[in-house]
Amino acid sequence: MINKQQDIRYISNKHKVSIVFIYFLSLVLSLSVSAQDSPSGYKISSPVSGVIKMIYVKPGQVVKKGDLLLEYDDSLIAGNLSEAQAKIKLAILNQAEAKKNYERAVELYDRTVLSEQELQQEKIAFTKASAQYAAAKNQLIHARWNMSHIKLYATINGQVSEVFSYPGQYVNNNFSAQTLLIIK
């Protein structure tokens, strides 16, 4: 016989480990070097993908650490945040329902009313719903993080030597960070 409490604790602990791993992985993948030293100066990039709304600097301009360099249009990023918030609400409901169904299946199995195959199907459904919740939570973390980084600030004092971006440009940093400007 399957012990209901041990089984649910195992799934819950596995779920927690998955969330921690996904969160850690998202931080590792999301963090990008904002300023990379090169012979021509510091290459400034952003880990956020999106459309540039405004560039606040031009070549030759002196900037101080903390000065606003550019800003992304937040409409796509805000849309992604809204979508992630909706997905997390749905995932919470689905996970709660799957857990309730699984617990009911364990009770029926204990009373020999339900077959082991049917019990395993409910366990799989609960595990799948838990994984979908973890994925939705990760998507929400990314969307919130992107929303908080729609403005790019200077990380060093210096002079802007080159600007490689323009308003309306789509920056895709999903695979590698694109250099947006250089500060010497």
What pLDDT, in 10s, does the model give residues 109-167?
A: 999 999 999 999 999 999 999 999 999 999 999 999 999 999 999 989 999 998 988 99
141-152 pLDDT, tens digit each: 999 999 999 999
Q: Does one domain contain both 141 and 162?
A: no
Residues 139 and 118 in one domain: yes
- State the average pLDDT for the chain: 83
> Rounded to two decimals, what is the model's pTM?
0.66
Output the domain CATH number for residue 179.
2.40.50.100
Same domain, 63 and 117: no
Tokens of 97: 């329902």
- Helix, strand and coil in the chain, % to nearest 5: 55, 20, 25
> Higher confidence at residue 77 or residue 17?
77
Structural domain total, the chain:
2
Residue 15's pLDDT band (boundaries 50, 70, 90)? low
Burial class (CB in 10 A: 0-12, 13-18, 19+), 66: exposed
Give the number of residues written for the chain: 184
User: How far does Cα 27 stand from its chain's mean position?
Assistant: 8
**Quick one: 92 and 175 in the same domain?**
no
